[in-house]
Amino acid sequence: MKVSKEQVRENRKRIVETASVLFRERGYDGVGVAELMSAAGLTHGGFYKHFGSKVDLMAEAVSCGFTRSAESTAGVNREKFIEYYLSRQHRDGMGNGCVMSALGADTARQSESMKATFAAGIERQLALLGNEDGTRADLIDTIAHLVGALVLSRACPDNSALADEILDVCRSRILSQDVNEN
C-alpha cells in the first residue's frame, strides 16, 4: 500500500517529536531505533526511509526540542520563566523540558555538526529571552545558572531535600539578583 506524501510528512514529524521527548528523558544512547519507532507507532524498518542515520534524527530532535521550548516560553516574562524553570514540575518533566539541561552533557560528546545544531538552539533561546533589559552577558549568566541548577537538582535522588534546596536557593538568588540590578 502506497503512503501519501502528506502521510510521510506526518510520520516523519511524529518520529522527530517522539525522539525529542525520548532523547531528553534518556539521552541519545538510551534510545534505540526499534524502540523509538515503536513509541512513534511505526515499524522500525521505516526509519531509514526518513533518516540517513540516528545522528540525523538526533539533530532534528534537538531542533524540535528547542522550538517547543521557545513556543512554551514566548511572551513569558523573565520572573515567571525563572520560577517555572526552577520548579519541581519542570525538573520532573524532563521529556518535555529544557533541551539544554537534558542533553547538554550528551551533546558535548557528539560531533561538531551536532554541537553546531545545539549552539543554534542556544542562540535562538538567547534571542527569545533577550527582549528585556540586560546585556547578552547577563542573559548567558542567567541561563547558565538555570541550566546548572536544574542539572544538579536532577542528579540528586528525586525526593531528596538537596534536590529541592538547589532549586529553591538558585531561584531565590537569581530573582534577588534581578531585583538588585533594577
**The whole model's pTM is what?**
0.90
Question: Residue 78 has what pLDDT?
Answer: 84
Condensed to tens digits (0 to 9), the pLDDT of residues 135-172 reads: 899 989 999 999 999 999 999 998 899 999 999 999 99
Predicted pLDDT of residue 127: 86
Three-state SS sequence of 126-171 = HHHHCCCCCCHHHHHHHHHHHHHHHHHHHHCCCCCHHHHHHHHHHH
| Total domains present in the chain | 1
Which triple of cell numbers denotes residue 6?
A: 502528506
Q: What is the pLDDT of residue 133?
A: 65
Letter string b/e over residues 1-23, b meaning 16 or more CB atoms within 10 A of that residue's CB = eeeeeeeeeebbeebbbbbbbbb
State the residue range of the domain holding 41: 5-181
Q: Are 124 and 70 in contact (CB under 8 A)?
A: yes
Whether pLDDT at 24 is above 60: yes
What is the domain-level CATH number for residue 132?
1.10.357.10
